[in-house]
Amino acid sequence: MRKIVSFMHISLDGLIAGPNGEMDWIRVNDEIFDYAGDRTNNSDTVLYGRVTYDMMEGYWPTAADKPNPSKHDIEHSTWYKQVDKVVLSRTMNGQQRDKTTIIHDDVEKQILAIKEKPGKEIIIFGSPRATQTLMQYGLVDEFWLFVNPVLLGKGIALFKDVPGKVSLKLLKSHAFSSGVVCLHYETVK
C-alpha cells in the first residue's frame, strides 16, 4: 500500500500559520528546496486542501516559463505538471481539471482506494486541514516537519483535534544552515 507523507513548515510552538494565516516567518532556501526535492521525486501523487491547491495551481503550472526562473521553479514546475493531484474540497464539487481528482465526500474510502492503487508515495504539501482530516482516519503514514526557529504564540495549530494518542517514531533529523530542522517521523500503527 502506498504511503501518505505530510510535508509541513511549523513553528517551534506547533503552529503552521499566524492568527490571520501569515506565513512570512517560514524560512526557505535552495538547501531546503533541494532536500525536499529529493523526496518529491519519490512521489507521483500530491494531495491538497482546496486553499493550498488554488495557491499551487495559480503558480506552479507556469513557474518555469517566467523570466529568470530559479532551479527550484523549473524542477518543481516540471514535477507539478506530471503528478496526479487529489484535492479535498466541499466547494469544488463537480469541477473537473486535468490530472486532478476532487474528493468531497467519503474521504476515508476514496483515499484508501487511492492508497491501494499501484504507484509511488502520496505527498501532502502544506494543507493543514487536509492533513487533519486524514489524521482523523489514521491515514497519514509519515510527517516531514520543517521546524522553523520561531515562536508565534498565536495562530493555526497543525495538531488540532488529534483523534487520540498518535505515536510517532523519529526516522531522521536534518539541520539546515538557516536554523530550520527537518524532523522525519513515521506513525506507529
How much is the average pLDDT of 51-74? Answer: 92
- Under DSSP, the state recorded for 165 is -
pLDDT at 1: 92
* Residues 116-125, mean pLDDT to the nearest whole number: 95
For residues 133 and 125, what is the distance between their CA atoms, to the nearest angstrom?
14
Cα 167 from Cα 188, distance rounded (Å): 5
pLDDT at res. 189:
84
Residue 132, pLDDT > 80, answer yes
Give the integer Cα–Cα distance in Å for 135 and 162. Answer: 7
Residue 111 confidence (pLDDT) = 96
Query: Between the ranges 48-52, 103-107, 125-129, 148-152, where is the mean pLDDT highest?
Result: 148-152
Residue found by looking up cell 501523487 in the block: 45
Tell me: the pLDDT tens digits for 3-57? 999 999 999 999 999 999 899 999 999 999 999 988 888 899 999 999 899 999 9
159-167 contacts, C-beta under 8 A, 24 or more apart: 159/14, 159/135, 160/132, 161/132, 161/136, 162/135, 163/135, 163/136, 163/138, 166/135
Q: 144 has which bridge partners?
A: 7, 184
Higher pLDDT, 40 or 152: 152
- What is the structure's pLDDT at 184? 97
Q: What mean pLDDT value characterizes the chain? A: 93
pLDDT at 94 over 70: no
The CATH superfamily of 4-163 is Dihydrofolate Reductase, subunit A (3.40.430.10)
- Give, as one character, the DSSP assignment of residue 59: T
Full-model pTM: 0.91
| Portion of the chain with pLDDT greater than 70, in percent | 98
Beta carbons within 10 angstroms of residue 177's beta carbon: 8
pLDDT at site 98? 83
C-alpha cell at 171: 526516522
CA distance linking residue 2 with residue 33, whole number of Å: 24
- Domain boundaries, given as residue ranges, for the chain: 4-163
CA distances from 188 to 33, 51, 66, 128, 169 (A): 28, 29, 43, 20, 6
Residue 169 CB-density burial (10 A; 0-12 exposed, 13-18 middle, 19+ buried): exposed
**Average pLDDT, integer, range 105-128:** 94
Q: What percent of the chain stands above pLDDT 90? A: 80
